[in-house]
Amino acid sequence: MSSWTEWRMLSSHSATSIPTSASPPPPRTATSDPRRVNMETYWREVQSIEEEQEGEEEEEERKSMDEVELEEAWLTEAGLSSLVVGSLSTESPPVAEAVLSTLTRQQAATVKKRLDNYNETLRKRNRQPIRDVRDIFTEPDGDSAGHCPFPTRSHLESPPRRYHTTTKTIRRNTNRGRSTLPMFVFEDQLPEDPSSPAPTPSPSSPNTYSSPVSQLRCADWLQRDTPYSEGVAEHKQGGTCRDCVCFRGDENSELQFAPVSPSHGLTCADDLSSRDLTRLGFISHIELSTFLQALGVQTKRTRPPHSRTRDDGVFGVSLNSLLDNDRKKFPGVKVPVFFQKLLSFLEQNGLQTEGILRVPGSAAKLKFLRKELDRCWSIFDWTEVRPVDAAGLLKLFIRELPTPLLTHTHLSTFCSVLGVSSEVHQVQALQLLLLLLPETHRNTLRALLAFLRKVVSHQDQNRMSLWNVSMVMAPNLFTHRNRGKKLSITKQRDEMEEAVGGAHLIGLMIRHQDLLWTVPNFLLAQVRQMNQASNQRKFNLSRTTSRLLRRKNEKNDRNQVSELCEGVIRVHAPLHTKVSMAIQLDELTTAKDVTTRFESETSPAQYLYEVGGNIYERRLQPDCCLLDVYRVNPHCDWLIKP
């Protein structure tokens, strides 16, 4: 009996036994038994995968990592590899010190717990730890009070301190109140009657937050200056927090967020340089662990299996290898060209095809197409390819990646997100998690999610609802493998629970993808502080020397301001006839206003960049308010380039 038949025998029972924490709302469909129909969609996809994998070698059993390996991997991914015994990392100690200097109290507690566990495990193995945790997290000294290395948006001069800049002090200023930030939506999403604004939500009246699908809510948690882990302290007491109450859906609606405008100071991951993204990953990694721990969610980790890679063709080749080959012809490309062509073909020919992604293509045809594409994909003729076969190639490409699109490292953490009880916290955890993916994987996943959203938007023609698309993609993104042997009843039920959970996660990523690539304010602020702390320690500056240099810089700044006047910036455009220009900023000046002054009819599209100061390099979106950037990073340079 095939595993697919065994799974079908358990479908009716599993539909009632799946935990509610891992189950999404029942999908809306016209059938009498929607859950069973949608589960059969999943099992048919599994059967199709197993048929394609017949004769292949079984996947090796992935073993759990021991305590030392687990903590070493965690500390390395947090940018603290210099604290690991025998580390071969080329990172200098100031990098680890800069990371530690940015942490909040709860984030520091997470690092301390990990480091304690690591050192204790080493002691049990009669190995001497390289540094004692007390040498890193000591009591604050008397001279560590009250300086913030960069101003915030709301305070131009001497703002209240958010983070301490010495590794000896990891305490937060507990006297600082939570700031209230305005909610906003785009003009075309405002209520029909502007004279009657929406009621202000109140935690005491949870019914206020139930809304129909058409009502979009503002994701104001992106603009807060406090980490997510600090906002869920109430979970330890009553099981809910402010966001749980504010962003609560009901049985007849799905939680929807309004798009966020870059003019409110937010940035996308793609707008940051690789160096800033690396440091952003350190903080995101620590914050995600702290956040899940505060929510009571346990994570586990296994060793990545040994995967075979190919150097030629397109199937079974790593994303990095594909991009390296593509960039020889197309410099700067971020998503493999073959993957882009495949998605483009499906968008042009398959969006209105009934059952696209769900209806399997011919196995023999797929085998032939795969061979031809591996041989000469760049000159391949797509005119005779059926949309269902192209959809099969898309799923095959994703499954055959040597490193899964969601990576071996983070797959188990994705599954752990299902243990979060609130959907808004699931979205926040996914946001932190996607920032940890390698850049090539993140960009490819983003292109895939954008395509899947287009498929759902044509569900009236293709009969592929969000839940159907999620069910079909779940076994492909979460790397279902044929193990070639009969599964026990318990493992079959676990597979079915994972099926529903994986589909739920994919549905969340498709629905909320516009938010997932946005960097929250608190993360970018910590990256800025890490850059500034790293720059100071790079030159081994003492505290007294740093203070003297800061005073000298302030004096020089005043001299420069006297030349350019307050709020005036100098924009450099080396590729234009006008090499530079002084521009007076006001509350309405945007990046587009500046780039427009340098544009001509023949000039290509270019962007304004924030360079230096407390950021390495950041591309500013056209409607970004420049005065906010000027207040946060007054010492940066302004550069116009592609």
Q: Which CATH number is 321's domain given?
A: 1.10.555.10
496 and 587 housed in the same domain: no
The predicted structure's pLDDT at residue 7: 47
Among 372, 306, 301, 383, which residue's Cα sits nearest to residue 348?
A: 383
pTM of the full structure: 0.76
Q: Can you point out the beta strands (E) in 90-249?
A: none
Domain end among 519, 534, 561: 519
CA dihedral (473, 476, 481, 487) in degrees, to 10, reads -10
Is the model's pLDDT at 12 over the cut of 50?
Answer: no
User: Above 90 in pLDDT, residue 429?
Assistant: yes
What pLDDT does residue 244 have? Answer: 75
- Most confidently predicted of 100-114, 263-277, 334-348, 620-634: 334-348
What pLDDT is stored for residue 200 in this prediction? Answer: 35
pLDDT of residue 407: 92
Residue 17 has pLDDT above 60, yes or no: no
Statement to judge: residues 361 and 404 lie in one domain:
yes
Q: How far apart are CA 450 and CA 401, in angstroms?
A: 20
Q: 206 pLDDT exceeds 50?
A: no
pLDDT-based confidence at residue 305 (cuts at 50, 70, 90): confident
pLDDT of residue 542: 52
Higher-confidence residue: 377 or 68? 377
When pLDDT is cut at 50, 70 and 90, the band that residue 134 belongs to is low
Residue 637 lies in a domain: yes
pLDDT in tens, 211-259: 334 467 778 888 888 899 988 877 666 667 777 777 765 544 677 777 6
Token digits for 522? 């608190």
Beta-bridge partners for 580: 572
**22-26, 110-114, 159-163, 617-621: the lowest-pLDDT one:** 159-163
Higher pLDDT, 62 or 500: 500
Answer yes or no: do 417 and 487 share one domain.
yes
* 159-170 confidence digits (pLDDT tens): 333 333 333 333
Rounded mean pLDDT of the chain?
75
Kindly state the average pLDDT of the residues 592-605. 83
With H, G, I as helix, E, B as strand and everything else as coil, classify residue 267: strand
The per-residue pLDDT for 311 is: 78
Q: Output the CA–CA distances (angstroms, integers) from residue 327 to 331, 338, 478, in the order listed.
A: 4, 12, 29
**Residue 542 burial by CB count (10 A; 0-12/13-18/19+): exposed, middle or buried?**
exposed
Asked if the model's pLDDT at residue 511 lies above 60, the reply is: yes
Token representation of residue 7: 């799974």
Say whether both 506 and 568 belong to one domain: no
Q: Average pLDDT in the 345-354 region?
A: 95
Q: Give residue 276's pLDDT.
A: 95
Q: Is residue 111 part of a domain?
A: no
Structural domain boundaries enclosing 421: 302-519
Confidence bin at 456 (pLDDT 50/70/90)? very high
Dihedral of CA atoms 461, 463, 468, 470 in degrees, nearest 10, equals: -10
Beta strands in 503-606 (DSSP E): 518-519, 568-572, 580-584
Looking at the structure, tell me whether residues 560 and 618 fall in a common domain. yes
Last residue of a domain, one of 468, 485, 519: 519
- Specify the amino acid at residue 355: G
For the cut 60, the answer to whether the pLDDT of residue 4 exceeds it is no
pLDDT at 148: 43
107, 547 contact by CB (below 8 A): no
CB within 8 Å of 606: residues ≥ 6 apart: 573, 575, 595, 598, 599, 640, 641, 642
Strand (E) positions, 508-614? 518-519, 568-572, 580-584, 607-612
Residue 472 in domain: yes
Q: Is the pLDDT of residue 18 over 80?
A: no
pLDDT for the residue numbered 544: 57
Across 91-100, 141-150, 458-467, 615-624, least confident range: 141-150
Residues 383/201, Cβ–Cβ less than 8 Å: no
Q: Pairing mode, if any, of strands 615-620 and 607-612?
A: antiparallel
Collapsed DSSP state (helix, strand, coil) of residue 554:
helix
CA distance 243 to 422: 9
Residue 277, classed as helix, strand or coil, is: helix
Torsion angles phi and psi, residue 555, rounded to 5: -65, -45
Q: Which range is least confidently modeled, 68-82, 259-273, 342-356?
A: 259-273
Length of the chain: 642
Residue 69 located in a structural domain: no
Number of domains in the chain: 2
Q: Using CA atoms, how far apart are residues 46 and 399, in angstroms rounded to an integer?
A: 12
- Per the model's pLDDT, the better-predicted residue between 290 and 557 turns out to be 290
> Up-side HSE of residue 313: CA atoms within 13 Å toward CB?
15
pLDDT above 70: residue 131:
no
Going from the C-alpha of 531 to that of each of 55, 64, 96, 280, 301, the distances in angstroms are 52, 35, 12, 10, 30
Judged against a pLDDT cut of 70, whether residue 537 lies above it is answered with no
| Average pLDDT score over residue span 50-59 | 56
pLDDT band at 522 (very low <50, low <70, confident <90, very high): very high
The residues, any chain, with a CB within 8 Å of residue 232's CB and separated by 6 or more, are 241, 243, 291, 294, 295, 425
Q: Identify the CATH number of the domain in which residue 580 sits.
A: 3.10.20.90
Same domain, 407 and 466: yes
Residue 376 bridge partners (DSSP):
none
**With bands split at pLDDT 50, 70 and 90, how would you rate the model's confidence at 422?**
confident
**Whether residue 633 is found in the same domain as residue 499:** no
The mean pLDDT value for 614-618 works out to 94
Six-digit token string for 574: 């080396």
Same domain for 476 and 612?
Answer: no
pLDDT of residue 539: 57
Q: Which among 477, 470, 513 has a CA at the least distance from the CA of 24?
A: 470
Does 519 or 121 have the greater pLDDT score? Answer: 519
CA distance 494 to 482: 15
Region 75-96 average pLDDT: 72
State which amino acid sits at residue 483: R
Distance between CA 539 and CA 494 in Å, rounded? Answer: 54
Give residue 62's pLDDT. Answer: 52
pLDDT at 309 over 70: yes
Q: Is 462 in the same domain as 556?
A: no
Supply the DSSP string of 66-113, one letter for each residue. -HHHHHHHHHHHTT-GGGSTT------HHHHHHHHHT--HHHHHHHHH
Burial class (CB in 10 A: 0-12, 13-18, 19+), 177: exposed
Same domain? 363 vs 439: yes
3-state secondary structure 374-411: HHHHHHCCCCCCCHHHHHHHHHHHHHCCCCCCCCHHHH
Residue 500 CB neighbour total at 10 angstroms: 24
- Region 466-479: mean pLDDT is 90
Taking CA atoms, 387 is separated from 277, 343, 345, 348, 455, in Å, by 37, 11, 8, 10, 12
Alpha-carbon gap, residue 69 to 91, rounded angstroms: 19
In a shared domain, residues 410 and 330: yes
376 in the same domain as 502? yes
Residues 248 and 253: their CA atoms lie apart, in Å, by 10
Assess if residue 195 is contained within a domain. Answer: no
For the cut 50, the answer to whether the pLDDT of residue 68 exceeds it is yes
473 lies in a domain? yes
Domain contains 182 = no
pLDDT surpassing 70 at residue 86: no
**489-493, 617-621, 627-631, range with the lowest pLDDT:** 489-493
**Domain-located, residue 262:** no
